[in-house]
Structure 1
Amino acid sequence: MSDPTMTSYGAWKSPITADLIVQGTISLGQVALDGADLYWLEGRPLEGGRNVLVRRTREGKTLEITPAPFNVRSRVHEMGGTSYLVHQGRIYFSNFADQRLYTQTLTTDPVPLTLPAALRYADAILDGPRQRLICVLEDHTIADREPVNTLAAVPLEGTEVAPTILVAGNDFYASPRLSPDGSQLAWLTWNHPNMPWDGTELWLGEVTAAGRVVNPERIAGGKKESIFQPQWSPDGRLYFVSDRSGWYNLYRWQAGQVEALLPMAAEFGEPQWFLGQSTYGFASPTRIICTYSQWGTQHLASLDLTTGTLEPIATPDTAIGGLQVTPTHAIFLGGSPTEFSAIVRLDLATGQRELLRCSSDLVLDPAYLSVPQAIEFPTDNGLTAHGFYYPPQNRDYLAPATERPPLLVKSHGGPTAATSTLLNLRIQYWTSRGFAVLDVNYGGSTGYGRAYRERLKGQWGLVDVNDCVNGALYLVAQGKADGDRLVIAGGSAGGYTTLCALTFREVFKAGASYFGISDLEALARDTHKFESRYLDSLIGPYPERLDLYQARSPIHFAEKLSCPIIFFQGLEDKIVPPNQAEEMVEVLKQKGLPVAYVAYEGEQHGFRKAENIKRTLDGEFYFYGRVFGFDPADPIDPVEIWNLTGA
């Protein structure tokens, strides 16, 4: 190995290219078991983001199940979630294009099961004795009316069948779960203005021989208690996760009472953005395998229900999701700062860990990878906030000793979500070119308890911005970042934080908004049902607090912007319509500030096509290069930048 070359930050040549990222990477999700067979979804950027159902047999053979152009993806709540079910080799799935349920076997092509109507299905379970599916149904059949959510049954036999409503009356439903003997149905429900992490209710009803749900009873939850993942044990007891203590902990419904299993300052649950999320499962009636989060890192453990003892399970994985459990194995989506997300099978007896499918086949020299460092830094009101700091790292380069690196601050989406330490090439893209990165878990993020999550109540656009700003200034004071080259970027809700920081504060010198929110009032008026009242808790009730919506909307204060910004936008985005970005762009043009706008046909809220992911990564880097005056080491297709001579 030759000695490193002395070169300024930002001009380092990196093997982690945008082409490499999109060509070698897929997304993995929705792991499910059917006997000895394992199933999962693969999101493939090179196929336009199509979600393909894949099967792995007991012999280890991997087979693609759903043929093109089928795309296994539900749009219930717009966010979707569990979109397929497999039972004894028969598959039932939601198809993205028409949202109908289809069925197929391992040897036949998909055929439609449900009517061609404006109905959406998700989170289905099998009711074998009654030969039907029970699922979340979302009815869009009447225009100009809010969609109606219910729990419904769909017969397994026939074609173009109609659903039968089982439970109705509330705004939202999730997690229908049938007891092992089929006699009881548990489910989650909640109403506007709550989001599921604010408050949900766990209900239990009896199921008659004819399939009706009768004698429903609320057994846990409320407006200020969030319930997550009800699940029946093999011996017919109902378990769930609740944050009634201030932390998402495990509970059991027994003899008409709620029983805490393991009080602990840790998060055994997650924000329910998607239907069907799973953080625990049963290896036996007396043993739970679970994952929990503490201070931004996830852990795998075994809970003995007889003794109440929690035993850690050794694994290098620091990000764990989609946990499925058998008597002998735990199967999950796992990864670490140096390992890509993968489907992991872990032997519960021996601890042997096997990677069944990796999200990337790339083999990278770890000398090019930046390993994140968890940091806790002071912020407003005497509090502290959290994040992960990634220093610049490239074995081939060093920067002059007197130079400090440019810092990219990333504000995650949600905003009720969190970033993790999972190997992310879209971060390594930057650090291997000489940027430092701060991935902020600002107040309002999940994984740190309910009190931390609720810091954003009524404070969105304030607390998150302060934490991003204070995190950046903390690293400047530590000598780990150049105060004259601080940039901030984020998508969706993170894009809102980004635009607020660039509009109302004067710390960052440039920024990038990916489908970021600039007009809160438009979001409150026009967004989809699931998030239509989200802002009630984050900002205030609308329109009663119109003053707050206007005061915290960057679009009304664009004249305060004083630095260059690049915008990336999907032209079919229904959550944050393109006009929000376009109005900001026009104001910046008129102000004479450097601005770029990259819009994508056929993209919605987030980019799925390989060519657009590549264009976004390279385009943002190119933009900063022109703004800060460094030359990227590789040729990059230029982005049109208005008013660049004024930079």
Structure 2
Amino acid sequence: MKLADRIAEVSTKDAVKASVSYDQLRAADGAFYWLETRPDAGGVTTVTCWRPADGRRDVSPQDFDVSSGVHAYGGGSFAVVDGMLWCVGRDGLYRSRRNGGDLELVSRGAFGDLTVGDGELLAMRESEHGDELIAVSLTGAPQMRTLAESRGFFGALRPGQGLLAWTAWGEQNMPWDACEVWLASYSPHGRPENPVRLAGGPDESAVEPKWGPDGALYFVSDRSGWWNLYRWNDSKVEAVAPIAGECAAEPWELGYASYEFLADGRIVMVVQEGPRHRLVVIEPDGSIHPVDLPYTSIKPYLAAHGTTAALIGSTPTAAPQVALVHLDDEPRLEVLARSEHAELSTARVSVPTELRIGVHGDREVVALVYPPTGSAADWRAPLIVRAHPGPTASCLLRLDWQAQFFTSRGFAVVDVDYLGSTGYGRSFRESLYGRWGFYDVDDCAAVANHLLKMGRAVPGQVFIRGASAGGYTALHAVSKDGPFAAATAVSAIVDPDRWAQTVPRFQRAHALRLRGGAGRVRAATVQRPVLIIHGTADEVAVVEDVRKLADELLALGVGHELLLLPDVGHYVATSSQAGTALEAELAHYRSVMAAAASVQPDSQDCQR
């Protein structure tokens, strides 16, 4: 079977160029703003504005990279008020005197979660000693005040009428494990007074506080086992709309907005159920109504103006889009920006199907299976199993051009929601602690073995790849007997104990909770060829660890290749070297397949 005769391959350039990402959508000054990261422009992130009368335009300088390093993963890196843009660059906080003008440095440091208050900008600042809540005057020469300090972590500083809310969690926790919502009396240019904890604790993650138009403080808590919306109204905390689904994303970044208020008293909210997202509207009486949209994946960045909600959504056949959902008498959809470009506008794509298989008794593993592009119903192909990062992330039902890069070349791709993924409740998310490198590997292998048994995957041509925590999973998967013929590890974590010492302070608690499972990846146990791709500027998983592993593999004569990408950080897929990484990964699989074919020259299996 030669798919090249029928299917146009997605070129490396197109796969990378199509991977424009949109983030941090928000409403301000009668307009919608968001971040655009464009790999074909060197991965620079720009603030873009859409205004009904003016359309879409960039409002940050062309070569300025709006990027926050706070808590290693950033978030909340810009705010707009009265035509002035405040944003975070790699070396500090900036502002422009007019929207679209030159930026001036206000203060050096790691800032995030920028929020506009009454005459002041509120933000979180991180140092090696801990976090600070700060306020900066909006007019005149910026004056900066510290409102609170902690050896732990802060986020979501949200001003209300005479009150201030924020989130906090300790050094030994991640925000999805134990996060608290705090409240204090506050007046602009003053300091928080008489703080009290409203929600959260050792076994509860309370996130995303926000003041409603009714004066109540809303937040999302997983006290029921699911992240659901709650409300505090001076006397008690009550559930707003109980749902057996996740109404917040795992808070790797600051500034998430999983729900928003409409002008008519309704609330619009994103709900995740496994690999799917949906948008719902909560009526004032608490009833919940789904919104009929094509999107199956929605980012945790909702914004609203009047009865219009803005979101970043995608589908299995449409890459991420910034869209308006008009929720008046006749709901309608208006797309403001889309990431496809002309060369891919007519490209055929592989649409995934959802697979559920039973493992370890009554537990299920969910996976998304992408068949080779244009294949028949009874397809059989080389298979790439992808272990997502996190490991608290999840596989998402959305168009992924880097998956299409491989499916257009005759491969099948499968994304696995292994134990520890978000979208299945708190218990599922926590169950990987102390078993990392075991349960995640077992789940990926179970999916691969199922597809082999069903005759979909070709024996000897089943591969596993992963990035960050997924890279650790991939390396351990080829360190034991199993279905995988080779692995690709991108930005991989290699040694959990050492990682706990070198990882940025935000993630140290995660490293400590995860470790205790399979331990360090040992070169002596690696049984299959591995490709290791790593950026030399990676601050999350330092390059020295993979260099050491590569040296050990070389000394033992274990088949491997180390591809170091100069000046690239942790996110290879959105870097200027994303194309180089894709081509190397493809060559890696083809070389393993060619070696197998030379041993079995009579094989009739599909390969290209």
Q: Give how far 1:328 is off.
A: 2.0
Q: Tell me the residue number matched to 1:537.
A: 513
Separation of aligned partners in 2, 1:502 and 1:230 = 43
Code of the residue aligned with 1:34 in structure 2: it is: A
Moved more, 223-232 or 63-72: 63-72
Partners of 2:573 and 2:480 lie apart in 1 by 31
Per-residue deviation, 1:209: 5.6
Alignment of 1:538-557 (within 5 A): 538-539=514-515, 548=516, 552-554=519-521, 557=522
Q: Does 1:618 align with 2:583?
A: yes
| Aligned positions of 1:141-540 closer than 5 A | 146-159=128-141, 161=142, 163-179=144-160, 181=161, 183-208=162-187, 210-284=189-263, 286-305=265-284, 307-321=285-299, 322-349=301-328, 350-362=330-342, 364=344, 368-394=348-374, 404-539=380-515
Q: Distance in 2 between matches of 1:228 and 1:363?
A: 41
Q: Which residue of 1 aligns with 2:14?
A: 20
Aligned residues of 1:12 and 1:432 also touching (Cα < 8 A): no
Structure 2 letter corresponding to 1:105: R
User: CA distance change for structure 1 residues 11 and 618 in 2, over 3 Å: closer, same or farther?
Assistant: farther
| Alignment partner of 1:583 out of 530, 548, 562 | 548
Listed one character per residue, the Cα deviations across residues 571-592 of structure 1 (whole Å, up to 9, x for unaligned) are: 1112211122222222332333
Paired AA for residue 374 in structure 1: E
Q: Return closer, same or farther for 1:21/1:155 CA change in 2, 3 Å cut-off.
A: same
Compute the displacement of 1:286 (Å): 2.8
Tell me, what secondary structure is at the counterpart of 1:503?
Answer: coil
Which of the residues 64, 78, 102 maps onto 1:109? 102
Deviations 1:382-414 (A, max 9, x none): 42211111111237xx79x8x831110000001
* Superposition CA RMSD, Å: 2.1
CA shift for structure 1 position 44: 1.7
- 1:49-92 Cα deviation digits (max 9, x unpaired): 11111112221422221114321111110100010000121111
2:530 counterpart letter in structure 1: I
Q: Is the 8 A contact 1:568 1:598 kept in 2?
A: yes
Q: Is the 8 A contact 2:156 2:166 kept in 1?
A: yes
1:181-215 per-position Cα deviation (integer Å, ceiling 9, x unaligned): 3x100100000211000011111100036421101
2:498 and 2:143 map into 1 onto residues whose CA distance is 36
Report the CA distance shift for 1:610/1:151 in structure 2 as closer, same or farther (over 3 A): closer
Q: Which segment is superposed worse, 13-22 or 316-325?
A: 13-22
In the alignment, the residues of structure 2 paired with residue 84 and residue 209 of structure 1 have an alpha-carbon distance, to the nearest angstrom, of 20
Which sits farther off after the overlay, 454-463 or 203-212? 203-212
**What is the identity, as a one-letter code, of the residue corresponding to 1:152?**
I
Q: Is the 8 A contact 2:221 2:227 kept in 1?
A: yes
Query: Equivalent residue of 1:617, what SS?
Result: helix
**Is contact 1:47–1:609 with CA below 8 Å preserved after alignment?**
no
Q: 2:59: which partner in 1?
A: 65
Does the 8 Å contact 1:235/1:285 carry over to 2? no
* C-alpha separation in 2, matches of 1:12 and 1:536: 50
Distance 1:33 1:210, change over 3 A: closer
Distance 1:138 1:392 in 2: 46
Post-superposition offset of 1:12:
7.9
- Equivalent residue letter for 1:120: A
Q: 3-state SS of the aligned residue for 1:311?
A: strand
Name the SS of the counterpart of 1:622 in structure 2.
helix
1:77-123 Cα distance to aligned partner (Å, 9 max, x none): 01000100001211111112x12333331263111222xx4x21111
CA distance in 2, matches of 1:593, 1:528: 31
- Name the TM-score, length of structure 1 as normaliser: 0.88
Q: Which piece of structure 1 moves more, 603-612 or 258-267?
A: 603-612
Contact 1:234–1:282 (CA<8 Å) still a contact in 2? yes
Moved more, 357-366 or 514-523: 357-366
CA distances 1:576-632 after superposition (whole Å, capped 9, x unpaired): 11122222222332333332111111111112666511111111111111110199x
In structure 2, how many angstroms separate the alpha carbons of the residues matched to 1:90 and 1:501? 51
* Cα pair distance change 1:235/1:606, threshold 3 Å: same
Q: Structure 2 counterpart of 1:127, which letter?
A: G
| Pairing partner for 2:93 from 100, 118, 128 | 100
Q: 1:12 to 1:503 in 2, by over 3 A?
A: farther
Q: Distance in 1 between matches of 2:356 and 2:198?
A: 38
Compared with structure 1, are the counterparts of its residues 134 and 473 closer, same or farther at alpha carbon in structure 2 (3 Å cutoff)?
same
Contact 1:136–1:173 at 8 Å: present in 2 too? yes
Q: 1:163 and 1:516 mapped to 2: Cα distance? A: 39
**Mean alpha-carbon deviation: is it higher for 202-211 or for 309-318?**
202-211
How far apart are the structure 2 equivalents of 1:552 and 1:12?
46
CA distance in 1, matches of 2:94, 2:576: 30
Identity %: 32
Equivalent residues, number: 594
**Partner Cα separation in structure 1 for residue 427 and residue 103 of structure 2:** 47
Of the candidates 587, 592, 604, which is equivalent to residue 557 of structure 2? 592
Give the corresponding residue for 2:572: 607
For 1:325 and 1:22, the matched residues in 2 are separated by 31
Distance 1:378 1:596 in 2: 35
Query: CA offsets per residue over residues 216-240 of structure 1, 9 Å max, x none?
Result: 0101111110112111111211111
State how far apart, in whole Å, the 2-side matches of 1:299 and 1:260 are.
20
- Call closer, same or farther: CA 1:10–1:448 in 2, change over 3 Å: farther
Q: Do the aligned residues in 2 keep the contact of 1:92 with 1:102 (CA within 8 Å)?
A: yes
Which stretch shows the higher mean deviation, 461-470 or 320-329?
320-329
Aligned partners of 2:260, 2:100: CA distance in 1, in Å?
31
Structure 1 gap segments, 5+ residues each: 1-5, 140-145, 540-547, 632-647
SS of corresponding position for 2:478: helix
Amino acid of the structure 1 residue aligned with 2:236: Q
Corresponding residue of 1:573: 538
- Provide the secondary structure at the position in 2 that maps to 1:78: coil
Q: Which amino acid is 1:535 matched to? A: A
User: How far does residue 11 in structure 1 lie from its aligned partner after superposition?
Assistant: 9.6
What is the deviation of 1:36? 2.2
Partner Cα separation in structure 2 for residue 610 and residue 124 of structure 1: 25
Q: Secondary structure at the match of 1:628?
A: helix
Letter in 2 for 1:111: E
Distance 1:168 1:610, change over 3 A: closer
Separation of aligned partners in 1, 2:411 and 2:146: 54
Alignment partner, residue 91 of structure 1: 85
Query: CA shift at 1:13, angstroms?
Result: 5.9
2:47 aligned residue (43, 46, 53): 53
**Any conservation in 2 of the 1:81–1:123 contact (CA below 8 Å)?**
yes
Task: Deviation per CA, 1:544-578: give whole Å up to 9, x if none.
Answer: xxxx47x5211xx2112121111111011122111
